[in-house]
Amino acid sequence: MSNDIAILGVGMHPWGKWGRNFTEYGVKAARDALADSGVAWKDIGFVSGAATMRCGYPGYVAGATFAQALGWQGAEVNTSYAACASGSQALAAARSKILSGACDVALVVGADTTPKGFLAPQKGDRPDDPDWVRFRLGITNPTYFALYARRRMEMYGDSQDDFALVKVKNAEHGFENPNARYRKKFSADDVAASNMVADPLRLMDICATSDGGAALVVSSLEYARKIGRVDAVKVAAISTVTPIYASAVIEMPDIATDSAAVVDAHSFRAALPVKAYEEAGISPQDVSVAEVYDLSTALELDWMEDLQLCERGQAAQLVRDGATRVGGRLPINPSGGLACFGEAVPAQAIAQVCELTWQLRGQAGARQVAGAQVGITANQGLFGHGSSVILKR
Amino acid sequence: MSEETNAAAGKKTRQPALEGWFTLNEDQPHLIGNQCASCGTYYFPRAKNFCKNPACDGDQFDDVELSRTGKVWSFTNAEYKPPAPYVAAEPFVPFTIAAVELAKEKMIVLGQVVAGVNPSDLKAGMEMELVLDTLFEDEAAEHITWKWKPIASNDYE
Ligand SMILES: [Zn+2]
């Protein structure tokens, strides 16, 4: 039996920085997704929300918050929290409900409002909290991104110019995207002129935090057929696996990796898509387009290799060749990625699925990847959370 | 030296910024980790309750001093002042950070690098040793932490 579900509708509130209530962004995205699907709100049987931790109690119960804002209509609700993977887990909850036969059509919503400035840890002396310890020692989020970037330079000979090319490429993609927060083209010189934050990464290599909202209407294939949508884009796989001990790479907010003295080290980022490919019965060679979590420019290159879209150490060469641009043979982040959006945590994984849906429908306008058949997403966040979703036509 | 004579000599007390994370031997300091009594897995910082090896249900740990030398896995710096609880000197002076791989423990440990060493001075694979150095000072004391320092006779080519 197929484990596929149909994506009937997608919608987004543009990304930005306004500080308004997150519900506003989520409702706008949900209404757009409903309109896109042609499904009436009263027919939704399950509302699956991705939680935001920064917006108080309504954020912790986001599923109910969105359902109430859209007008209580008796649907079941659920809220998922899994850091950057929250949106994928909300989608996975909806898929389980649909595949079990408990519901025909569901709404998945994530939205966030982020504070201005640096994300700082909570106040007070807490030497047992790894997040407190690393800030005490002067180790910030960019430290980790920079360590990964420098590792690429040391191992594969990547350069800061390569990283800048990723930014230039993503800026070009996002320039055409009405939902992107930053819509400005940059040159490699612009990137090189921006301030160094954590050597080798400059301000323009690192993504910001944003407000934004994204939503999906998903259903059983049977329901899609019934309403005449047999051609709907399908979710072929959702992977939200945890890491396998011991971690090979130093992960935020830790001060040290696990010890691999007794058990072998494993890469979490590389494990995430493996399960997705297996579940979908699709191989990396079949992928037409990918949306990956470019928290930094260099991290986009790591993801290309973790998704097995090229050999280890080869990603920078693909960027230099122009292969990862729209029009190239393997476009990465046609939406513009986090470089043009900034991160709106509970909405981001859903936004990746929205972009791939538009790409697979052929509705992505100027940033359209010609003939896109299969798309894959990837993201990774704190405390062993991550996800990879595969869509197919 | 008593605190009084320290004060008389214009010297502040040196105290660990993180209590119990490293030995206070100024010549040969070590990070203090622990090791699962059942499976031998190392931990830094020390494990408290449960062994994280999925094949082990151990809950007893013995303190161990970790290797005080290792090889650079990667490195960076902080060009902007980190937010609190980091305590920065005014004006802020950028500092270098290294991730150093300990061979015996098969573990990578982060730390600041001693002043005067820039990212351009480092390479993956370089030998580093652990030293104690000031993290920050206040009126009462000099708060010390571990830092990584290139081993003088570095021959990493
Ligand atoms: Zn054990």
Q: What is the pLDDT of residues A145-155, one digit of tens each?
A: 999 999 999 99
Taking the CB of residue A227, how many other CB atoms lie within 10 A of it? 17
pLDDT value for A21: 96
Q: Which helix (H) or strand (E) holds A390?
A: strand A386-392
The whole-chain average pLDDT of chain A stands at: 96
Strand partners, A82: A84
d(CA A10, CA B71): 49
Closest residue by Cα to residue A4 from A234, A193, A257, A307: A234
Tell me which chain B residue has its CA closest to the CA of residue A262. B41
Q: Strand, helix or coil at A391?
A: strand
Q: What is the pLDDT of residues A33-83, one digit of tens each?
A: 999 999 999 999 999 999 999 899 999 999 999 999 999 999 999 999 999
d(CA A187, CA A197): 19
Strand partners, A160: none
Tell me which chain A residue has its CA closest to the CA of residue B134. A137
Q: B76 with A150: CB under 8 angstroms?
A: yes
CATH 3.40.47.10 in chain A is located at: 5-117+211-234, 130-207+236-392
Closest-CA distance, B27 to chain A, in angstroms, reads 21
User: Residue for token digits 């001093």?
Assistant: B65
Q: A273 with A283: CB under 8 angstroms?
A: no
Residue B56, classified by CB atoms within 10 Å of its CB into exposed (0-12), middle (13-18) or buried (19+), is: middle
Residue A122, classified by CB atoms within 10 Å of its CB into exposed (0-12), middle (13-18) or buried (19+), is: exposed
Q: State both tokens at A160.
A: 């800061």
Within 8 A by CB and 6+ apart from A82, the residues are A88, A89, A240, A381, A385, A387
φ and ψ of A222, to 5 deg: -60, -45
Q: Which A positions 176-205 lie with beta carbon below 8 A of chain B?
A: 195-201
Closest-CA distance, A303 to chain B, in angstroms, reads 18
Q: State both tokens at A33.
A: 């997704």
d(CA A363, CA A231): 14
Binned at pLDDT 50, 70 and 90, residue B155 comes out as: low
Residue A21, classified by CB atoms within 10 Å of its CB into exposed (0-12), middle (13-18) or buried (19+), is: middle
CATH class of the domain comprising A5-117+211-234:
alpha beta
Closest-CA distance, A136 to chain B, in angstroms, reads 4
Q: A92 with A49: CB under 8 angstroms?
A: no
Whether residues B78 and A200 touch (CB distance < 8 A) is answered with no
C-alpha distances in Å from residue A67, one per residue of A64, A177, A267, B56? 5, 28, 38, 44
Alpha helices in A184-266 (DSSP H): 188-193, 221-226
Does the structure show a pLDDT above 90 at A119?
no
Q: Which A positions 250-309 lie with beta carbon below 8 A of chain B?
A: 250, 255-263, 265
Print burial letters for B120-130: b (CB count within 10 Å at least 16), e (below 16). eebebebbbbb
Q: State both tokens at B9.
A: 């000599």
Tell me which chain A residue has its CA closest to the CA of residue B124. A154
Break chain B down into helix, strand, coil percent, rounded to 5: 5, 40, 55
Tell me which chain B residue has its CA closest to the CA of residue A253. B110
Rg (alpha carbons) of chain B, rounded to whole number: 17
Residues of B within 8 A of A125 (CB-CB) are 85
d(CA A3, CA A95): 9
Q: Which helix (H) or strand (E) holds A19?
A: none
Taking the CB of residue A6, how many other CB atoms lie within 10 A of it? 25
Binned at pLDDT 50, 70 and 90, residue A118 comes out as: low
Whether residues B107 and A257 touch (CB distance < 8 A) is answered with yes
Q: What is the pLDDT of residues A77-87, one digit of tens each?
A: 999 999 999 99
Give the pairing type, strands B61-65 and B107-113.
Answer: unpaired
d(CA B15, CA A50): 45
Closest-CA distance, A294 to chain B, in angstroms, reads 19
Whether residues B79 and A135 touch (CB distance < 8 A) is answered with no
Sign of CA dihedral A344, A62, A116, A150: negative
Q: What is the pLDDT of residues B30-50, one digit of tens each?
A: 999 999 999 999 999 999 999
Closest-CA distance, B69 to chain A, in angstroms, reads 15
C-alpha distances in Å from residue A132, one per residue of A81, A122, A136, A383, B85? 22, 8, 6, 15, 7
How close is the Cα of B103 to the center of ligand 1, in Å? Answer: 19
Does the structure show a pLDDT above 70 at B10?
no
**Could you name the CATH architecture of A130-207+236-392?**
3-Layer(aba) Sandwich (3.40)
Rg (alpha carbons) of chain A, rounded to whole number: 20
**A383-392 average pLDDT score:** 95
C-alpha distances in Å from residue A57, one per residue of A79, A103, A255, A327? 12, 27, 31, 45
Whether residues B74 and A147 touch (CB distance < 8 A) is answered with yes
Does the model's ipTM exceed the 0.90 cut?
Answer: yes
Whether residues A148 and B74 touch (CB distance < 8 A) is answered with yes
Q: What is the pLDDT of residues A224-275, one digit of tens each?
A: 999 999 999 999 999 999 999 999 899 999 999 999 999 999 999 999 999 9
Q: Strand, helix or coil at A54?
A: coil
φ and ψ of A286, to 5 deg: -85, -10
d(CA A98, CA B146): 53
Tell me which chain B residue has its CA closest to the CA of residue A265. B106
Q: Where in chain B are the domains?
A: 67-154
Does the structure show a pLDDT above 60 at B2?
no
